[in-house]
Structure 1
Amino acid sequence: MRFNEELASIATYQAGKPIEEVVRNFGLREQDIIKLASNENPYGTSARVVQAIKDNAHKAHLYPDDSMRALIERLCAHYHIKDTECIIGAGSDQVIELCMHAKTHKGSKILIAGVTFAMYEIYAKHIGVEVIKTPSQTHDLAQFYELFIQHRPDVVFLCVPNNPLGECLGRDEVYEFIDHIGNESDGETLVVLDGAYQEFAAYKDLSKRICPHDLVSRFSHVIYLGTFSKAYGLGGMRVGYGIAQASIIQALYKLRAPFNITTLSLVAACEVFDDMEFVERTIESNFVQMRRYEEFAESRGIGYIPSYTNFITFVLSNPYDSSVICDTLLREGIIIRNLASYGINAFRITIGTQEQNDRVLCALGEIFSS
């Protein structure tokens, strides 16, 4: 059977290995496996959210309110935006896909960092869009601007903080860059600012905090992406959102499928705003535990990227190989993310609970002492 020719150039996205697969492959017990590969919240989901899901489970046979009115109102109050400036997606990656279809076509170009979220490139290739990458693996805005002038892309993606590396641009330099792009393109180049980990960055350093309200009020060519999958602990519910001026949101709504999140996902996402203490504890604990990984790396001369997220990236040099290390840990029931597919000898670890990190650091200690 013949398929769309664009599929030939697309590599299948490799998500972090599921616990079930590790159980099957290595004969381990599910309770003995630690999954720190997909940046899920290691503290689970707020008890209030869990109760709200249970209380509404009898509605599972019903489609959700397609207007998503309750959630949009919560987001509007949280970010001080208008209801016409927000769209809900099945994860923020669905909003990325909507942006690609709204703004690009075969022959278009997009601009991304050398190493960043893989779905930007995958969604682009679905349409036959050329992907321009900076020589730098991290976000170098001078390189971004130079390549923008050279290629005039239809969409520029900024991942702030960046996944999978963890570095984060500062707010002022981001705003200055967006302003330059708007002036050079007469507002015709869409800047997608992916803030999936913004809650963590804002806690660690206020100079990194990107305010969606500021973006919407200042720029007509930017969309901010957020998610409930990380700090809010709703990875399994798949709820994200986009915030932009009304003209952009209206265009995306023409592409959005009806009922694109579930009834229970909508309930869960609304409820998180009534338990922000859970979110705050999650973020605070994240950076306390992250310091343990930093100290581990520093004491052994292992390279790492200072992180503004809920994960840390270790960058290796000879004789260590990220694929060997990840496989060794996997056989012990510890799932982390190998970054070899990005062309770098590195691995990424989601920051777990104290008990999970005790076990991971012990296992790493044995590997780097051998």
Structure 2
Amino acid sequence: MNFNKVLDNVPIYEAGKPIELVVREYGVNPKDIIKLASNENPYGTSPKVVSKIKEIVQSMSVYPDDSMYELKEALANKFDVESSNIIIGSGSDQILEFCVHAKCDKNSKVLMSKTTFAMYEIYGKQAGSTIIKTEDGEHNLKQFSSMYKEYGADIIFLCLPNNPLGECLDRDDVYAFLETINKDTLVIIDGAYQEYGAFKDEKKRINPKELINSFPNCIYLGTFSKAYALGGMRVGYGIAQEDIIKTLYKLRAPFNITTLTLAAAIEALKDEEFVQDCIAKNFEEMKRYEQYAREKGFDYIDSYTNFITLKFASLYSSKKVAQELLERGLIVRDLTGYGINAIRITIGSNDQNTKVFKLLDEVLEKLK
């Protein structure tokens, strides 16, 4: 059967391995498996959210409020914007897809960092667009500027902080770069990990209202999957000038998030104390990974997220390390596919991380 030819060069996104696979293929007891590959919140969902879901679970036969009025109002109050500046998606990656299909075709160019969220390239190639990447994996604005001057771009992706590496640009540097961009270029600021970056360093904080008022060609994306611990609910949002939001709505199917998702997101926004506590624990535990890397003699990327990238250079093969850990019930992300000899580990709870170091000791000793 023949399909759209642009799909011939589109890679398939590989999500983190599920717990069920480890049980099935390696016979590990499900209770002993630690999944630290998908940057989920290890502290679970806010008890207030869980309580709310139990309360409304009987209403699943009814379609959700497709206006999403209450959630948009809550986000509008949080960020001091209008509800008309907001679009809700099934995860922020759905809004990424809307943006690309609203802006791009086979004659378009999409500019991004060499090592960043894989879906940027996938969505760009789905539209038949030309993908332009910087030479460095970590965001390098000089290279972005150089590439933009040479090739132009219909869309620029900035992942702040960056997934899967963890680094983050300073806000002032980002704004200086945006001043040089043509107003017909859509700049997508992916803030999936912004709660973490802003907590660690105020210089990293991107204020959505300030962003879209200063740069009307920008859209800010946020998610409830990380700090708000609703990865299983799939809900994200975009904040932009009203003309951009109206255009994206032309691509949105009705009822694109569920009744339970809507209720969970609304309730999650009410429990900021839970979110801040999770973030604080995250960075306390991250110090243990930094110390471990120093003791073992390999590098790490200074992270502004809920994960850390451990770089092995020539000491170990990240592919072998990840596989050995997998067979012991620890799921991490091997970055070989990105051309980096490194693994990405979500920062777990204190007990989980203690077990991680024990398993890493075993594996690194075996692979010496």
Report TM bin, short chain.
over 0.9
CA distance in 2, matches of 1:142, 1:319: 31
Percent identical residues: 54
1:285 to 281, 284, 287: 281
CA distance in 2, matches of 1:31, 1:74: 37
Answer yes or no: is 1:221 the counterpart of 2:235: no
Secondary structure at the aligned position of 2:263 is classed as helix
Partner of 2:59: 59
Q: Check whether the contact 2:325–2:363 (CA below 8 A) recurs between aligned residues.
A: no
Answer yes or no: is 1:255 the counterpart of 2:247: no
Partner of 1:112: 112
Partner of 1:307: 303
1:242 to 235, 238, 242: 238
Per-residue deviation, 1:366? 2.5
Secondary structure at the aligned position of 1:180 is classed as coil
CA distance in 2, matches of 1:59, 1:219: 41
Answer yes or no: is 1:276 the counterpart of 2:260: no
Answer yes or no: is 1:206 the counterpart of 2:202: yes
CA distance in 2, matches of 1:107, 1:343: 28
Answer yes or no: is 1:180 the counterpart of 2:180: yes
CA distance in 2, matches of 1:47, 1:93: 26
Deviations 1:46-74 (A, max 9, x none): 00000101101011122111111010000
CA distance in 1, matches of 2:66, 2:120: 26
Which blocks of at least 5 consecutive residues in structure 2 are unaligned? none
Partner of 1:3: 3
Q: What is the Cα-based RMSD across aligned positions, in Å?
A: 0.8
Secondary structure at the aligned position of 2:111 is classed as strand
Deviations 1:198-249 (A, max 9, x none): 0000000000000101112211100000000000000000000000010110
CA distance in 2, matches of 1:61, 1:302: 53
Deviations 1:94-119 (A, max 9, x none): 00000001111112100000100000
Per-residue deviation, 1:367? 2.7
Answer yes or no: is 1:340 the counterpart of 2:362: no
Secondary structure at the aligned position of 1:236 is classed as coil
CA distance in 1, matches of 2:170, 2:281: 23
2:361 to 350, 362, 365: 365
Q: TM-score, normalised by structure 1?
A: 0.98
CA distance in 1, matches of 2:6, 2:223: 29
AA at the equivalent of 1:335 = I
CA distance in 2, matches of 1:309, 1:60: 34
CA distance in 1, matches of 2:175, 2:67: 31
Which blocks of at least 5 consecutive residues in structure 1 are unaligned? none
What does 1:61-80 correspond to in 2, within 5 Å? 61-80=61-80
Secondary structure at the aligned position of 1:347 is classed as strand
